Every structure is written in structure tokens, then in C-alpha cells.
Amino acid sequence: MEINTHLSPEPVQNIQTVNRQPTKALKLDEIGEWSELKLDILKKYAGAYCTILRARNLHPIYIDGFAGAGTHIRKKTKELVSGSPLNALNLEPAFEELHLIDSDENRVAELKRLTAGKKNVHVHGGDANQILPNKVFPTIKFGQLYTRLIHSYFSFGTLVTVIGNVPSARF
């Protein structure tokens, strides 16, 4: 389903109340209950994860290789729902750095709009398989303490989250 829309960063709003923007087509994914459950689990886990790492003076970094536009459409009600990038961005305590990647230029533009002015957010357009090793991983500072990453892939309806210690930039 394609919808021309101008999105607000509000977590949920009725799609009928969204201002239409005819000049640019932004395709949002419609999600069902399972996808919403995955988003809730990731949000709760990431919040606890950031709390634990910050308490130990570690630096949590969030990387989403298939970030999308930052929001989705709820299938049942057609309301807008915050996606993983916005959920990660709004956590307290916050991630030290966020890297959001998507291959669709309209979604990248929307992510840039939603995160404008956030110096700790880096939005990348292109193939995550190229961007991660060439642009993201080289920028992460590695020292005696391990940097921890939450690396999320939304691909073919599957969420894979890799959590762990990263001792070097070699992958």
C-alpha cells in the first residue's frame, strides 16, 4: 500500500489526520500484531540494555541495517506506529550513537527529517552490506573496554538482533 504522507514523530496517529504531501511518495509498511510485538520487545530490551551499559560507563550503539522510514501503518486501524529507529531514538537512557540504514531514498529522506538536529544519529542511504563494513564499523572507537552493539535487521518479516562484545573492527 502506497501513501503520500507527511509524518509527525508522534508514536501513533490516525492516518486520516496526516497532512498529504503530493510531491513525494513515501511507501510505509503495514504491520500486524507480530511485528508490533517484535517492536515492543526490542524497545523494552534496548531500554534495559542501555541502562545496564550506561551504569557501567560503557557506550551503547544502535545500528539498524533496514531502518525503514521510522514509522509503520497498523494493519487493523491504519494508525501510524513508531518503528525501531524512533523507539531507539526515544529511549532513556539514550544510545550514545545511532546508525540508521535504508536502501530506499524516500525512507532515508524521512529518517533524516525525523532525526534532524540529533548529532548522535547518522542516517545512511544504500546497501547495509556495503555501508556497515565501509562506513559504520570504521567509525566506532574501540579501546580496552569493548563497545557493545545492538544490530537489528528487519528482513523478510524476520527480526534478528545481534548483541555482543565487539573486540575489533574486523567482521
Tell whether the model's pLDDT for residue 64 goes beyond 50: yes
Statement: residue 124 has pLDDT above 90 = yes
**What structural domains does the chain harbor?**
12-166 (3.40.1380.20)
Q: How far is CA 97 from CA 37, 93, 118, 134, in A?
A: 25, 12, 10, 17
Q: Say what the pLDDT of residue 138 is.
A: 83
Spatial distance between the Cα atoms of 169 and 36, rounded to a whole number of angstroms: 32
Other beta carbons less than 10 A from residue 135's beta carbon: 14
Query: Is pLDDT larger for residue 141 or for residue 73?
Result: 73
Whether the CB-CB separation of 141 and 168 falls below 8 Å is answered with no
Helix (H, G, I), strand (E, B) or coil at 89: helix
